[in-house]
Amino acid sequence: MHAALFSATRIKNSTTGALPATRTLMLASREHQAIRGWASNRLLGMSDEKKLVVGDEAPNFNVLNQDGVSVSLADYKGKKVILYFYPAASTPGCTKEACDFNDSLNPLKAAGYHVLGISPDAPKKLEKFHTEQSLNFPLLSDPELGVHKAFGAYGKKSMYGKEYEGVIRSTFVIDEAGKIALALYNVKATGHVAMLRKQLAI
């Protein structure tokens, strides 16, 4: 990071032989901005893992749902999918998000979308959550975090100045060809579904 600044000091002013003060300040400012940008990403809880972008192939997976039945992304080939990652079933934020998706299920289905929720929870816990909230879409279990990591939805986070690893609340829209049509990281539980529907014009 200091190499650019060091190299620049070797460029001499044709008149005085010294590096112009404005040039030095500009380089120092850019370096400071780069450091601040890196630090900001860390504080915002952004993962160092590779993030998926529009056009990427959605990683396939095969996991169990709340009923212990195997579910694969390949099962939805030729269909549009909304796959959302949440930290833990039965917690306030995750309950709010799940119920919002459930309340919007009919218009989403009418637009051709299939909703899938996924978390590290075991199928038994998901079954209880699914029943208690009367959810009408599958909840998937990923206790080994393989799917989370493949989608970049697990990584470094920060809270109250302490860094830790955890689930990054994220939502992906996958098109009929199995490509990422929309990738949303670090979303908020409240209001997320409404924002997503607006983006999808539903």
Q: Tell me the catalytic residues.
A: 94
The residues near 29 (Cβ < 8 Å, ≥ 6 apart) are none
Could you give phi then psi for residue 81, rounded to 5 degrees?
-125, 140
Q: The tokens of 83 are what?
A: 């796959």
Give the helix ranges, DSSP H, for 9-134. 21-43, 92-103, 105-110, 123-132
Helices 92-103 + 192-199 axis angle, to 10: 40
The residues near 183 (Cβ < 8 Å, ≥ 6 apart) are 51, 52, 53, 54, 56, 170, 172, 173
